[in-house]
Structure 1
Amino acid sequence: MNHSLLMNNMDTRYTLRFTAHKEGQLLREALGEWRISKRALTAIKFEGGLLTVNGIERNVRHPLQIGDCVEVKFPPEEKSEGLVVEYGELTIVYEDEAIIVLDKPAHQSTIPSREHPTKSIANYICGYFEQQALASTVHIVTRLDRDTSGLLCIAKHAHIHHLTGLAQRGGDVSREYEAIVHGHVVEACQSIVAPIGRKDTSIIEREVRNDGQFAHTDVFVKRRFYIQEEPMTHIRLKLHTGRTHQIRVHMAYLGHPLVGDELYGGTRQLIDRQALHCVSLSMQHPLTREVLHFTSSLHEDMQQLINNS
């Protein structure tokens, strides 16, 4: 399969180009092999997209010849209703025609909420896309809690989001975190496999419960230390699933809540947020299948905790 992405000043629709490699194959079958979803095909047909073969509009029943040039023009996207376009600072680690990887600060939401309706990453990405004249909306691939810092990935188009979703389900998106927790974690490395669900008495808080969703976290001790005679542990964690508050819930379940995480039993005497940072993100590029790897250093507030020990 050969493919490329086309963008030009005359047509802002997201466009992919493929080269047919099977004689007589129906366009519909080729599009499936190229991972164009049925939902996307419906949108192309009814919402202003276009399928062409060698520059001529065709329907999905068209038989292809080897070497045919197939262009898939996706309909323009509209941002979610209520998502305000704002302009603010974004720390971009990587960007190409398909994805953006950011280093998110603490105290900034990934998406707007009732409590924090503006100044989120999503708001700023909307403004950034507008400045670039991209007919796209925000598609969060890897989300972080408001007070968690570090790497997160955003897809520039719904089709790219679809491809990254396939990659996540196939285990081809890997995230690692570092955290500081209360107490000395005894085991140097361990796996926590414990289902997580919403707590009955809260719309926000999660807990380990038998009827929860499968959740798997690996924990590795980096260093045990004391601050003001209180034992703490600097740990590294690898997520195998992506449940809401997964690391925070699993560490509290172990009896070692994150420092600063008042929701799950931590204290904010030394830091004003949960001490959690996404330090590593590895993924297959959704178009090229190239393996990408990004890293981020701990932010100053967490580094200061470790240095003061």
Structure 2
Amino acid sequence: MFSDGPPAAPAKSPVKMSAARTANVALSEQEMVDHLAATGRYRILRKLESRPVVRSLRPEFPHKGIILDTETTGLNHRKEEIIEIGLIAFTFDDQGSIGDVTGIYGGLQQPGKPIPPEIVKLTGITDDMVAGQKIDIEAVETLVAPADLIIAHNAGFDRPFCEAFSRVFCNKAWACSNAEIDWSARGFEGTKLGYLVGQGGYFHDGHRAVDDCFALLEVLDRNVDGHYPSPFAELYRASQRSRVRIFAENSPYDLKDHLKARGYRWSDGSEGRPKSWWIEVDEAALADEIDYLRREIYRHPEADPPTKYLTAFDRFRA
């Protein structure tokens, strides 16, 4: 009654106002993504969608792979147990191109003791979740038996647990997507799966082992800049190379820091290994590494440290 003018128009939502300014129509989802990315002020992450299992396999991808993830009650495979396993079976070709997803399995298992609180915090798996649960070993073995290569993001951890769980994992070729891919050369700031997924342009729930397997599959199959083969192609080639483990046995104690700085690790003599510092190198680098030990560590031209040749069938065992 006492208004000074016509009522104000209702405010438009920010998204519609932006759309009106740019195209005078509502933007599609892809147009919004493209518009935000073009400003240079936003980074877009897409939700990772699981690939479907196919029934009809393409013959151009003749090899069979497994991506695997486990959760356990602790670190020692001789004392602790698997409480969850996730598996994705897929095909690939000679060049390391990934083909089809052929099978999926994920399962929980009740261990013989309560899950430690630190493991509950780390994995989100509680005693209530695993109560009465048992991994279907027949389903696991059906997927793994035909595999030519098993991939884990920490194969040195997963392989000993899996081999203790079932013999189907023994005498298989294993590859580690953490250790055998040069992620830094691809522009990644870290090698944890969360870093790789985020920098690869995705996000995922990551609550179950199978979810992490699908996330790793997408990261391995993604080539961001086009200047490299895919991460999986790099990993597949690495798995085919022979490597040599060199033991700097009886090296002088006062030179241990030199060995450590060069990448040597300490072996306490368990699992049948010499009690000494050791390193793994490509077979092509063996002569240079032996020369380094002779000159800088033993200071004797005839020093002959023990060596062990390894293939994907030997690596990452306990």
TM-score, structure 2 normalization: 0.23
Structure showing greater Rg? 2
Higher relative contact order (CA 8 A, sep 6+): 2
TM-score, structure 1 normalization: 0.23
- More strand per residue: 1 or 2? 1
